[in-house]
Amino acid sequence: MTLPLPAPVFDANAQGGKDLGKLPEWDLTDLYPAPDAPELKRDMDWLEKACADFASDYEGKLAGLDAAGMLECVLRYEKIDLIAGRIMSFAGLRYYQQTTDPERAKFMSDCQDKITTYTTPLVFFSLEINRIPDDQLDALFEANEDLARYKPVFERLRAMRPYQLSDELEKFLHDQSVVGASAWNKLFDETMAGLEFQVQGETLGLEATLNLLTDHDRARREAAARELAATFTNNIKLFARVHNTLTKEKEIEDRWRGMPTPQTGRHLANHVEPEVVEALRDAVVNAYPKLSHRYYELKRKWLGLDKLEVWDRNAPLPMEDPRTIGWDDARSMVLDAYTDFAPKMAEIAEPFFHKGWIDAGVKPGKAPGAFAHPTVVDVHPYVMLNYLGKPRDVMTLAHELGHGVHQVLAAGQGELLASTPLTLAETASVFGEMLTFRKLLAKAKDPAEKKVLLAGKVEDMINTVVRQIAFYDFECKLHAARRGGELTPDDINALWMSVQDESLGPAFNFMEGYETFWAYIPHFVHSPFYVYAYAFGDGLVNALYAVYEEGNPDFQDKYFEMLKAGGSKHHKELLAPFGLDASDPKFWDKGLSMISGMIDELEAMEDGAA
């Protein structure tokens, strides 16, 4: 039960700017007042004893428990999960505020080491649960309604039954995790946070350099892209070593477990059937020509170029107003959009702004990108941004606040049932983004502004759907190739370019050095095959939003009920009230047609607003 840290999620749409007003910072005292706080020591001491007592009371005895006894066991396990989660949330969030601070890195490692040691005796729990016959467990659920509420937890554990190792091996894997994947993750994070890029006389970090890829000045975009390529190339042996090691470690564990594919573990964790993911993947790849290829050909014309270079992919349009949006205005835009949908949504989001639940500014050593971390159900989520004041930054705020609203609503399920699988975790975030986009589009003052907004949304959706499925294909190829032996940096570069050309299309040239851009994507390191969840979430929300626009009765009530369910229901059950089914291949076409329809609009507007 080693607690996962809140991994930073790169947001390809973060932007740059100044004069933003006072940006909020995290107040982590709702978790603990300080690293040396007596409350933290109290909880760590409690955790050590609680884990030992749990093992003493239950190891070897789970199969003999009656329904009341099993419920008490589950509640004790849940409390351990909550306290361990609180400690690691505090340690992880402090670390991501300043990943280059050795004290913060040491504190997080020490907490992780202790919790891993304390929770090792609990490994028996899932192993013994999985040895109880189905009919015996079903009888316990029938006998106790409170226990039956936890049935989804048992179902998730039992999904791993075919891949379970011996008790001794499971304990070994749990123990050595702190010097395995998590150690390589930390090396990657610290290396990325410490990189410096020299762009036109300025020394910049990764986030600020990536932001320049959206600069109005094409020469500045090119300088940033070439410096990124040069720096990644200089460090490519290290990044190749990280990927080779993590991919091989996964292959070894998958082989021992008997998992049929490298993706199996992710599909099980996401509670999604492999054929549903493949239907999504195939639908998106088949749609490349009518989505990304078609859009980038339009953009090439707008920019007046014979070919797009990679530094033009996220370039602003020529007619785009290079305005900076202050923090207060961004807050109003998002909360107004949320209020228009349902006042309750804005009421849940509002405290994030004034209670220290958002860390918005760009600071040296801070992790790049953006995320919303749910912490634990008896505290509240925290949102991290790198806010630099461009319109797409407002979309990132809307996105992460959507996560926050979802996490607040799901907290009522309790620690073991609140967390949603990745495939559903993006629902409220992408929906919040869509609400904000539609609000801004309705207020557009002329066709040129509407065109810029539409183009920006299409680019965001391409980044979320097309790019992430291309990333998924890259990972599939990477893990398959690694099974044949060690991969050189050139080998990995070639795999990367094979999906870039296919997904981006003929409008692009690819500069020398772009083949190394796989190196900075954190998902490949932190969460293998995570990326398809973005495309799943975007497709799901596009279909959901279409139902909303069609005037589905009581949509808001159904929507909040879906978010409140957290991880307690399967995607089929959650989508049924809306008349949707993600296992139907046509479901994905419904979502993709929304993107295609926006490109139709842009093509129709071209003559009038070019």
390 band by pLDDT with thresholds 50, 70 and 90: confident
HSE (side-chain half, CA atoms, 13 Å) at 527: 19
6 band by pLDDT with thresholds 50, 70 and 90: very low
What is residue 570's predicted lDDT score, i.e. its pLDDT? 87
List the beta bridge partners of residue 370: 9
Domain assignment present for residue 113? The answer is yes
164 band by pLDDT with thresholds 50, 70 and 90: confident
138 band by pLDDT with thresholds 50, 70 and 90: very high
Q: What's the rounded Cα separation, in Å, for the pair 213 and 216?
A: 9
Domain assignment present for residue 84? The answer is yes
Domain assignment present for residue 4? The answer is no
607 band by pLDDT with thresholds 50, 70 and 90: low
> Which among 288, 240, 285 is positioned nearest to 496, based on CA atoms?
240
Greater confidence (167 vs 24) lies with 24
Total-model pTM: 0.81
Q: Which DSSP string corresponds to 387-443? A: ----HHHHHHHHHHHHHHHHHHHHGGG-TTTSPPPHHHHTHHHHHHHHHHHHHHHHT
Average pLDDT, the chain: 91
Instruction: Kindly tell me if the per-residue pLDDT of 375 is higher than 60.
Output: yes
Cβ contacts of residue 91 below 8 Å, gap of 6+? 5, 35, 107, 108, 111, 112
Instruction: Kindly tell me if the per-residue pLDDT of 12 is higher than 70.
Output: no
CB-based contact 589:280 (threshold 8 Å): no
Instruction: Kindly tell me if the per-residue pLDDT of 139 is higher than 50.
Output: yes
What is residue 490's predicted lDDT score, i.e. its pLDDT? 98
Strand-pair category, 197-199 with 371-373? unpaired
Instruction: Kindly tell me if the per-residue pLDDT of 4 is higher than 80.
Output: no
The stretch 40-56 carries a mean pLDDT of 98
The stretch 261-288 carries a mean pLDDT of 93
Mean pLDDT is highest, among 145-159, 485-499, 549-563, 582-596, for: 485-499
pLDDT in tens, 67-83: 999 999 999 999 999 99
What is residue 15's predicted lDDT score, i.e. its pLDDT? 35
Domain assignment present for residue 145? The answer is yes
Distances 50 to 2, 198, 277, 442 between C-alpha atoms, Å: 15, 51, 39, 55
Domain assignment present for residue 397? The answer is no
What is residue 369's predicted lDDT score, i.e. its pLDDT? 84
CATH number for the domain spanning 91: value is 1.20.140.70
pLDDT in tens, 548-601: 988 888 999 999 999 999 999 988 899 999 999 988 878 898 889 989 999 999
Instruction: Kindly tell me if the per-residue pLDDT of 166 is higher than 90.
Output: no
Instruction: Kindly tell me if the per-residue pLDDT of 96 is higher than 70.
Output: yes
558-567: b or e for each residue (b if 16 or more CB lie within 10 Å)?
bbbebbbbbb
Mean pLDDT is highest, among 8-22, 137-151, 162-176, for: 137-151
List the beta bridge partners of residue 384: 359, 371
Instruction: Kindly tell me if the per-residue pLDDT of 48 is higher than 90.
Output: yes
Counted domains in the chain:
1
Greater confidence (302 vs 5) lies with 302
Distances 447 to 130, 319, 337, 609 between C-alpha atoms, Å: 60, 11, 21, 6
Greater confidence (6 vs 364) lies with 364
- Looking at the chain, the whole-number percentage of residues with pLDDT higher than 90 is 73
pLDDT in tens, 401-452: 999 999 999 999 999 999 988 788 889 999 999 999 999 888 888 888 889 8
Domain assignment present for residue 106? The answer is yes
pLDDT in tens, 278-336: 999 999 999 999 999 999 999 999 999 999 999 999 998 887 777 789 999 999 999 99
The dihedral through the CA atoms of 180, 186, 189, 193 has a sign that is: negative
Instruction: Kindly tell me if the per-residue pLDDT of 262 is higher than 80.
Output: yes
What is residue 91's predicted lDDT score, i.e. its pLDDT? 97
Instruction: Kindly tell me if the per-residue pLDDT of 153 is higher than 60.
Output: yes
List the beta bridge partners of residue 371: 384
What is residue 112's predicted lDDT score, i.e. its pLDDT? 93
* Domain ranges, residue 49: 31-165
Instruction: Kindly tell me if the per-residue pLDDT of 201 is higher than 80.
Output: yes
Domain assignment present for residue 177? The answer is no
Instruction: Kindly tell me if the per-residue pLDDT of 18 is higher than 70.
Output: no
Domain assignment present for residue 412? The answer is no
